[in-house]
Amino acid sequence: MKQHVIIIGGGLGGLFTGAILSKEGFHVTILEKNAMIGGGLQTFQRFGEHFDTGMHVIGGMQPGENIWKLCHYLGILDSVKIRNVDDECTDRLYFAEDKSYYTIAKGRDGFVRSLARSFPDEQRNLERYVDAVLAIADKVDLFNLRPSTGQISLFAESNDFLMAADAFIAKYITDERLRSVLAYMNPLYGGRAHETPAYVHAIISTLYIKGASRFVDGSYHFAQLLSDVITSNGGQVIPGNAVEWINVVDRKVEYVRTKSGKQYTADYYISDIHPCTLIKLMDKKAFPQSYRERLETIPNTHSAFALYIKLKPEAFPYINHSEYYMTRYADVWNFSRTDKPWPLGFLMMTPPNSHQGRYATKVLITAPMPFDMVKRWENTSVGHRGTEYEAWKTKCAELLLNQIEEIHTGFRECIEAINTSSPLTIRDFYGVKDGSICGFAKNCQNIVLSQVPVVTKVSNLLLTGQNNNLHGFCGVPLTAITTCEAILGVNYIINKVNACAE
């Protein structure tokens, strides 16, 4: 008899966890609230174009890397459509404060060489910094798909590991501007000064030093590939089926009920939704009060305001790297702060399609934004937020367009149509507290607070997704392995993935 698993939420974490468990012989049912599965992999259609919502730059997909191997084990690798960014320019950064541009090249040597061009006196320091970054990432068994010794390697061995990321950079780098340049990926992972641990900075940096990619023809096809693994193994993935109640008796889930009124029972229940959203779906007594209070106390990473721009035909070039706009060097750690003028910066990219030519058809702009900026509309729902909100969104879009004009003069002329989304959109579409883009923030001053294990005090309920460990295209699938191994045994999946890659 197959054991049954119900997964609440068909985002990246739910789909990876479901795909792995279904391949290992479980009967998996995924219940997804939205009409479309995928969570951060979801796309939407506007002005005749498909736009990605939460997966623009992806890491871990270079041959032999962790997510590449995981896709190989799941049998989907050959169907994943990605395009690598340019080796000599994976990212281009612009700091408005002194109108300076920096380009980043791929690989350890490329990274050092490209930045040493602008900071020649820091060449040796850059080498020491990159080696320290790579050394931290090398220590994490899961990141390297190494069988775990059972010890919590996260906290072991290196002094650099748990220091604050800004202090870690300053330990190796003397030049103040270069310190800020090295923190340019903060918008992607919610880096905060004095709080974000160096290991978070190191893992994200390592991923992209090794090589970044983008989905071709949108991220949704990847959700579909994972869903196909589940259905081809006899499972089901059901969109438009929000879980509204989880019945827990004596610390055990008895059933979940969806909005349609249907009850589902299983041997295991796995939640891919934000833990603060999860506990609202069950009786207060399901978890100890201390656990619930702790979850509510953990700060979340910042949210974002986004522009989805359809371009006029043959008006703007396709750019095969990401572009980061930063206002001031000192503000690179301040994206979560509400006492700063907005916007402090943004990520700009042109998503590729399978017949990509010289020109881009669309541009995505993602600008970090604290949730407090939309708090006055927090009790509204999609499509009913009022004219004041719409006017505010238009103003935000204008501010961003002004900044884009600084790095691409004449950009406004290339625009055919613009759609915008705010932190409220992210909150309501993904069901994420405060519209956070990466979920719970890690704080090296109180690292235990943000460590939420995948096993819970409710014996047959496990967690998966970005809040348990790291976020994003690499972090979430790795946590899916941890969740599956909580059922199947330590190293069970890692050994299979490695055996498959040999």
Ligand X SMILES: Cc1cc2nc3c(=O)[nH]c(=O)nc-3n(C[C@H](O)[C@H](O)[C@H](O)COP(=O)(O)OP(=O)(O)OC[C@H]3O[C@@H](n4cnc5c(N)ncnc54)[C@H](O)[C@@H]3O)c2cc1C
Among 84, 118, 148, 277, binds ligand X (CB under 6 A): 277
Q: Does 5 contact ligand X by CB under 6 A?
A: no
Taking CB under 6 A as the binding criterion, the range among 79-87, 134-142, 144-152, 430-438 that sits at the site for ligand X is 430-438
- SS3 percent helix, strand, coil of the chain, rounded to 5, is 40, 20, 40
Query: Quick one: which of 304, 307, 348, 487 contacts ligand X (CB under 6 A)?
Result: 304
What is the Cβ-side half-sphere exposure of residue 76, based on CA atoms within 13 angstroms? 25
Among 5, 6, 12, 173, binds ligand X (CB under 6 A): 12
Binding window for ligand X (CB under 6 A); candidates: 56-64, 81-89, 329-337, 483-491 = 56-64
438 lies in the site for ligand X, by CB under 6 A? yes
Among 5, 10, 200, 440, binds ligand X (CB under 6 A): 10
Do 13 and 465 meet the contact criterion of CB atoms below 8 Å apart?
A: yes
How far apart CA 6 and CA 404 sit, in angstroms, is 45
Q: CA 75 to CA 311: how far, in whole Å?
A: 36
Measured from the CB of residue 432, what is the shortest distance to ligand X in angstroms? Answer: 6
Question: d(Cα 230, Cα 235) in Å, to the nearest integer?
Answer: 5
345 binds ligand X (CB under 6 A): no
Least distance CB 204 / ligand X (angstroms) = 9
Q: How far is CA 37 from the centre of its chain?
A: 16
Residue 194, both tokens: 């004095």
Distance (Å, whole) CA 115 – CA 307: 29
Is the CB of 85 or the CB of 178 nearer to ligand X?
A: 85
CB of 54 to ligand X, least distance (A): 3
Looking at this protein, which amino acid is placed at residue 298? I
Minimum CB separation of residue 157 from ligand X in Å reads 27
Asked if 152 and 146 count as a contact pair (C-beta separation under 8 A), the reply is no
Cα dihedral value 433, 188, 202, 321, nearest 10: 160
- The reply to whether 351 sits near ligand X by the rule CB under 6 A is no
Of 126 and 454, the one with the shorter C-beta distance to ligand X is 454
Give me Rg for the CA atoms of the chain. 22
Question: Would you say 178 or 278 has its CB closer to ligand X?
Answer: 278
Are residues 198 and 160 in contact, defined by beta-carbon separation less than 8 angstroms?
yes
- Give the integer Cα–Cα distance in Å for 502 and 500: 6
Residue 480 as a binder of ligand X (CB under 6 A): the answer is no
67 binds ligand X (CB under 6 A): no
Q: Measuring CA to CA, which residue among 273, 282, 290 is closest to residue 254?
A: 282
The CB-of-190 to ligand X minimum distance in angstroms stands at 10
Nearer to ligand X, 277 or 491 (CB): 277
Return the DSSP state at 376.
Answer: G
Among positions 39, 351, 368, 423, the unique one binding ligand X when judged by CB under 6 A = 39
> Considering the complex, what minimum distance in angstroms separates the CB of residue 219 from ligand X?
9
Do 60 and 224 contact (CB within 8 A), yes or no?
no
| CB distance 129 to 182 below 8 Å | yes
Q: Which is nearer to ligand X, 181 or 474 (CB)?
A: 474
Nearest to ligand X by Cβ — which residue?
11
User: Which residue of 34, 334, 350, 450 would you call a contact of ligand X, by CB under 6 A?
Assistant: 34
Q: Which stretch binds ligand X (CB under 6 A): 2-10, 100-108, 282-290, 376-384?
A: 2-10
Strand-strand pairing, 252-258 and 243-249 = antiparallel
367 near ligand X (CB under 6 A)? no
Point out which residues bind ligand X (CB under 6 A): 8-14, 31-34, 39-40, 54-58, 242-243, 272-273, 277, 304, 306, 366, 426, 430-432, 437-438, 465-466, 471-473, 476
